[in-house]
Amino acid sequence: MNVQEIIEIADHRFASLKLSVYLSIISGLGVPLLSILSDGDSNLTMPLTIISIAAALLSIALGAGAIMDIAQLSKDMDPDYAATNFGKAFAKAPFAVFTILSVLFPIAIAVADIMYLNA
């Protein structure tokens, strides 16, 4: 696979990763804000909990999937590109750690939202 193809695919998957981050931010801020604006209406606790969990699941699917795909791209570099400093650094990136973090952060945000809603 040539460099241009790798860059195009990585850019596409990076868009999914950005969407995952934006979704986590909107959920993390939006759920408590909606609760505050509704004056703590208990009828909204369950729907907001469902929204928070759904956002976390979608964020995990988008983020972890994108990172795993980008990790596989590091193995598809042509030998000339893999021999460059960037290619070596890209191949050594801790993609497993990135994947774990992309799973843990949305879960932590959802747990924080649920704890806030049930406080």
Task: Output the pLDDT for position 60.
Answer: 95
pTM, to two decimals: 0.83
Predicted pLDDT of residue 107: 96
pLDDT at residue 113 above 90? yes
The CA distance from 65 to 46, in Å, is 28
Provide the residue type at 31 as one letter. V
DSSP codes, 23-72:
HHHHHHHHHHHHHHHTTT-GGGHHHHHHHHHHHHHHHHHHHHHHHHHHHH
Q: Is the pLDDT of residue 41 over 80?
A: no
Residue-level pLDDT at 5? 81
**Is the per-residue pLDDT at 2 higher than 80?**
no
